[in-house]
Structure 1
């Protein structure tokens, strides 16, 4: 009985640690369980050990434990949102922050995520 209580306490502490780490992490990632022979992404089956970049700008890795995909795009958070706008470039998986009135002028970005 004591072993079960210790296991529950351990699992509770472990889950709390995971929740805290999630709030500290800035990169956006997601996880999917594996299939029998690999990982399924956008109707493509990838073998275990494969890595690839998706059209949506995610870097994915297929492992026996599952598929993990993390965003390659750094999202600007703190900038002048009144006078500036963030423009997404799908080909380069990047975002530029420029003046609304003149896209040739870059705006200062103070903080980003990713």
Structure 2
């Protein structure tokens, strides 16, 4: 299997698995010192973007993190595929046969 086809397959799998996820936010309890995320301690009131494309806020009672990724829902799924870009926290919908060509997306959620 070519590297391009493998990347497209991986991206499609990621897109489908993220689309099945109902919760776009999650909460974790805070400690008396702040919020722990990826081995970093954040003070109360801190806001940051984590490595999984979630915007997090540390409050006195909980850390609240919500996804920054807008997931495309209505597009030509036969001829197009969504490619996840971790650096920009976005999904780009492109032609399966030519990833250089973008597809039209009619709506999404995030």
SS in 2 for 1:56: coil
With normalisation by structure 1, the TM-score equals: 0.74
Structure 1 partner of 2:55: 59
Match of 1:39 among 16, 24, 35: 35
Gaps of 5+ in 1: 1-25
Q: Does 1:112 align with 2:108?
A: yes
Match of 2:71 among 61, 75, 80: 75
Structure 2 partner of 1:49: 45
**Aligned alpha-carbon RMSD (Å):** 1.4
User: 1 CA distance for matches of 2:91 and 2:50?
Assistant: 17
Give the number of the structure whose alpha-carbon radius of gyration is greater. 1
How many residues get paired? 89
Runs of 4+ aligned structure 1 residues displaced above 3 Å come to none
User: 2 CA distance for matches of 1:27 and 1:106?
Assistant: 28
Gaps of 5+ in 2: 1-21
SS in 2 for 1:64: coil
User: 2 CA distance for matches of 1:33 and 1:101?
Assistant: 46
Higher relative contact order (CA 8 A, sep 6+): 2
Deviation per residue, 1:7-59 (Å, 9 max, x gap): xxxxxxxxxxxxxxxxxxx8711111111100011111111011111011111
